[in-house]
Structure 1
Amino acid sequence: MSTIIPLPVLITVALAGGGIIAWVLSRRDSGWAEVTTAPEGSVLVLDLPDVHFRPLREYEIRAQADPALRQDWVDQALAQLGGTLHAAELWQLLTSHLRPGAPGFWPGMDLRAESLVLAGTDLRGCEVRDAVFRQVRFWGAARFDGLVCTGLVSFERCAFTYHVSFRGAEFRAGADFEGATFMANTSFAGVTTGDVVWFDEVRFSGRTDYTGAGFAADVSFLATGFAGPTSFRDARFGGEAQFLHARFSGHADFTGATAGGFRFAGASARTDVRLARTWPEGVSLGERGPRRPGFWAEVREA
């Protein structure tokens, strides 16, 4: 696994004849990089985006004229995102070719990244074929609202360090989130999928929202942990909704949720705190039993 250098970042550059200090801090609310005022007497140094991305921009012009170069350009742009302090500018450049209706839209592109740190991810309204992210750390807020994927989708073993939203995303060939970690609030509200989806061994630490989601086939939440309030209100499962050995530590709302079958074998819910829970029809909690920390009860099917 690659070494992860978190933001905020403090960069000190020593030059002959004097010290030059560049202070680069990440914005907490969004994950974008921004430069703050340096102390009096210092010189602020920035690697300007126009200079830093000049080779990529020149290649972009060639790729616009020659479709055979476009996927390679997308690959290079995504790779550069793993090591730049100018994420906002580069995301804007990349997504200008991934949003339908934009003058420079390139259809059928794939997004593939492994063992990278991506800051300020913004793929709202984009359309791609495959979106494969494995062991990627998404630093700051990550936005995938309205993302359309016509091919393979994978976020296997990824870590989301702040709020993330897939609101209204469309995964036409299913998706795999196995082993992912969501450290803040997460929204899959209104997401639609065309095939099987896996959320096995996922950790949701904040509020989790699947309100109005539409799954065409089976969905698996094997051994998944829901630490915060969780909503599946009005979610539709075309196949089975499998919560085998899942754990619910907070509120849970399945009001209006429908499925070909709900499976909760081995699942449990914490009972030593005051919580509001609405289970699917025929599902209830068993007797409270001791478990450290807290007390838990088995989630039983009728």
Structure 2
Amino acid sequence: MSSWLVPLAVALVVVWVVVRHVRASHSDTLLDEHARRRVGPDAVAPAAVSVWREANRLFRAGETEGLLLLAEIGRQVPRRRQAVVDTWLAALRGGVSLGLDAPWRTAVQRELVAHLRPGDDFWPGMDLVAPGAILVDLDLSGCRVRRVELVGAVFLGDARFEATTVTGDADFAGARFLRHALFTDVLFARSASFGSVVFTGNVSLRSAQVANQLVFARAKVSGRADLRHAEVSGLADFRHVLFGGRALFGDVVFHQDAWFRHAWFRGRTDVGSALIGEAAEFGNARFGRRVLQ
């Protein structure tokens, strides 16, 4: 090959690489712009990677458009749904040093709940993993989820889990409910843990069903604890629990052991018609008022 052909070939290759890079960059820019301006269902959808990146950028910036775009990704691409849910939950963790933006948190929660409650827009099998989350007036009533891990979470306002179904384990250990916690008619298909939880108001597990063990050890309930008609198939652990108000266990069914060692019942205690399948342990338990049997 002539000596002048080699440099020419090299130059052509370099030019070709540069042109491809410029075109790719320009294409990404156009897709990003399109994602930002996407407002209607008739718009042509950009590349999935570009939309995902832009949706996350807008969402992290606190833009409602990003929240809605993530929801649309979940609708269109089912395999992305858990990632969308995880992104929303990440926004509910921490951030207090920058100020508690309650309206933004409630907007994120509202969109989240819309896809966890069975209906036309239901996303089945979602995990709720958000340790340390700060939740404002959370209402998961009637929702159906898989695993719940809200260890150390803080619930501002009422927390509603009425008739919620959790098909996996539920862990609220160390959480703080700063008002009322309503778990009426909840179904925990596996274990439920409320160990060391602080309930500032009332807590209700009335007619709740727990298919495995229920752990309340070292929890503190300032208001009323209502477990009437609840049913626990596994061990029920209430050791060292402080019941500050009334403790209602009427017609509760514990299929296995129920441990109340070192529990302190400061208010009226009602265990009338309670059924305990195996051993009931009340060693060193204290009762501040009368016990109705």
Compute the TM-score of the two structures, normalised by the length of structure 2: 0.74
2:83 matches 1:72: yes
Higher helix share: 2
**Alignment partner, residue 99 of structure 1:** 117
* Cα offset, 1:241, TM superposition: 1.1
Give the Å deviation of 1:267.
1.1
Query: Where does the alignment leave 5 or more consecutive residues of structure 1 unmatched?
Result: 1-50, 280-302
Contact preservation (8 Å) 2:67, 2:108? no
Alignment partner of 1:149 out of 157, 166, 185: 166
Matched residues, percent identical? 31
1:79 Cα shift? 2.3
Aligned residue-pair number:
224
Aligned-pair Cα RMSD in Å: 1.3
1:224 correspondence with 2:224: no
Q: 1:265-299: per-residue Cα shift (whole Å, max 9, x none)?
A: 121112xxxx34224xxxxxxxxxxxxxxxxxxxx
Q: SS of 2:155's equivalent?
A: strand
Q: Does 1:55 align with 2:89?
A: no
Counterpart Cα distance in 2 of 1:95 and 1:117: 15
Give the secondary structure class of the aligned counterpart of 1:239.
Answer: coil
Letter matched to residue 109 of structure 2: W
Superposed CA deviations along residues 243-262 of structure 1, whole A, max 9, x for unmatched, are: 01111111000011001221
Is 1:278 the counterpart of 2:292? The answer is yes
Equivalent positions of 1:127-142 (< 5 A) are 127-142=144-159
Q: 2:194 aligns with which of 162, 170, 177?
A: 177
Q: Is the 8 A contact 2:175 2:196 kept in 1?
A: yes
Quote the Cα distance in structure 2 between the aligned partners of 1:114 and 1:182: 17
From the CA coordinates, give the structure whose radius of gyration is larger.
2
- Please state how far the C-alpha of 1:143 moved relative to its aligned partner: 0.5
| Partner residue in 2 for 1:20 | none
Q: Which residue of 124, 131, 153 maps to 2:141?
A: 124
Q: Distance in 1 between matches of 2:165 and 2:133?
A: 22
SS at match of 2:135: strand
Q: 1:48-81: CA deviations, max 9, x gaps?
A: xxx7221121122112111111001111112223
Give the whole-Å Cα distance in 1 for the aligned partners of 2:133 and 2:162.
21
Q: Structure 1 length as normaliser, TM-score?
A: 0.72
Whether contact under 8 Å (2:126, 2:145) holds in the other structure is: yes
Amino acid at match of 1:182: F
Query: Which among 246, 253, 259 is matched to residue 270 of structure 2?
Result: 253
Match of 1:267 in 2: 285
Listed as ranges, the matches of 1:201-240 within 5 Å are: 201-240=218-257
Structure 1 stretches of at least 4 aligned residues deviating more than 4 Å after TM superposition: none
Q: Which has the higher strand share?
A: 1
Cross-structure match for 1:158: 175
Does 84-93 or 246-255 show the bigger shift?
A: 84-93
Q: In structure 2, what residue type is equivalent to 1:89? A: A
Q: Paired residue for 2:58?
A: none
1-structure distance, mates of 2:254, 2:209: 10
